[in-house]
Structure 1
Amino acid sequence: MIAAISENDIKKLKEDLKQKGYKLTPQRRAIVDTIIAGKGSHLTAEEIYDEVKKLCPEIGLATVYRTIILLEEIGLIYKLELNDGCSRYELANKDEVHRHHHLVCNKCGSVIEVQDDLLENLETEIEKKYNFKIKDHSVKFFGLCSECRKDG
């Protein structure tokens, strides 16, 4: 089921696209809707394509790739590398100061999102020590999930 996008979000998206010389076409809207519906799923471009194709059978994979790049450029989504050889995409949460962290199971590949920003103190130390203004960070922890730990 596709999650609803608020009218304000659509207006902002249209403005961001217009500033870059693009329009919010039905194909782009279907891609955005699919990414929103898959929130927390960390979809690959091919998975996004498979879902969008159900809504827009005429869409090509190249259009999906171009749109993903565009959406990443305007900050609506970001790329996530989980060391599985695939680029995955996730909706950028406008309420988060930084990207959330991920726990990645080395055995089953499951991904758990950590919503708390546990690095605020570390960021402050780094900014002071290196005179460096941090804008964002991305952290992934690799190990074994609780299910895989049960299996031995």
Structure 2
Amino acid sequence: MDHATHTHAKAPQGKGPQGADPTRIERLCIERGLKMTGQRRLIARVLSEAEDHPDVEELYRRAIALDSKVSIATVYRTVRLLEEKGILERRDFGGGRSRYDPADRGHHHHLIDVDTGTVIEFEDEEHERLVQSIAARYGFTLVQQRLELFGKKAPAPAPAPEAKRRPGTATKKDGG
């Protein structure tokens, strides 16, 4: 059973928003016939380099750090377009904001800490077998599935307090 946290390798840095080395999201945009303006290239780059699930406002913060001319409206329009083209998937992890996950990241699930908003991506072979078995039992062939688990991380156990020693008594550590 594989319970490892799914991590993502960072996309190559490329040669800037107008550069010759397109990001993976930019390549998907081109494959789907989207015109790639400089600002769309920049947003595609920010999305490709994201190792988390940013919302539009976080994407905007990251984009303006690279190009102060990008507007929040452009980020909203671009994200909506990328979602319509199947390049991004919208996620609702709570907190009232949609967050985005590139559709090409492959099949994975999410475990969300409701206290901190931390999102852990994971894959689990046992879960996959169970889901396929349930679908088959009811005569279904799965075409899509999504699992988002919401929980609270268990606190780390507190260290055991050291036993208080009365003056003049020996402990095992002291040789007594």
Tell me the TM-score range normalised by the shorter chain: 0.7 to 0.9
Higher relative contact order (CA 8 A, sep 6+): 2
* 1:45-60 aligned within 5 A: 45-60=56-71
Q: Is residue 104 of structure 2 the alignment partner of residue 93 of structure 1? A: yes
User: Structure 1 length as normaliser, TM-score?
Assistant: 0.77
Q: Is residue 88 of structure 2 the alignment partner of residue 82 of structure 1? A: no
* Matched position secondary structure for 2:101: strand
The match for 1:141 is 149
Count of aligned pairs: 141
The match for 2:79 is 68
Moved over 6 A (4+): none
Bigger helix share: 1
* Matched position secondary structure for 2:104: coil
Q: Is residue 37 of structure 2 the alignment partner of residue 25 of structure 1? A: yes
Contact 1:110 1:145 in 2 (8 A): no
Contact 1:79 1:88 in 2 (8 A): yes
**Mean Cα deviation higher: 116-125 or 83-92:** 116-125
The match for 2:29 is 13
Q: Deviations over 1:25-77 (max 9, x none)?
A: 111111111111112x1101000011111223222111111111111122222
Distance 2:148 2:120 in 1: 10
Distance 2:126 2:36 in 1: 36
User: Structure 2 length as normaliser, TM-score?
Assistant: 0.67
Distance 2:125 2:53 in 1: 19
Q: Percent identity, please.
A: 33
Gaps of 5+ in 1: none
Mark the structure with the bigger radius of gyration. Answer: 2
Contact 2:23 2:44 in 1 (8 A): no
Gaps of 5+ in 2: 1-9, 15-20, 159-176
The match for 1:38 is 50
The match for 1:150 is 156
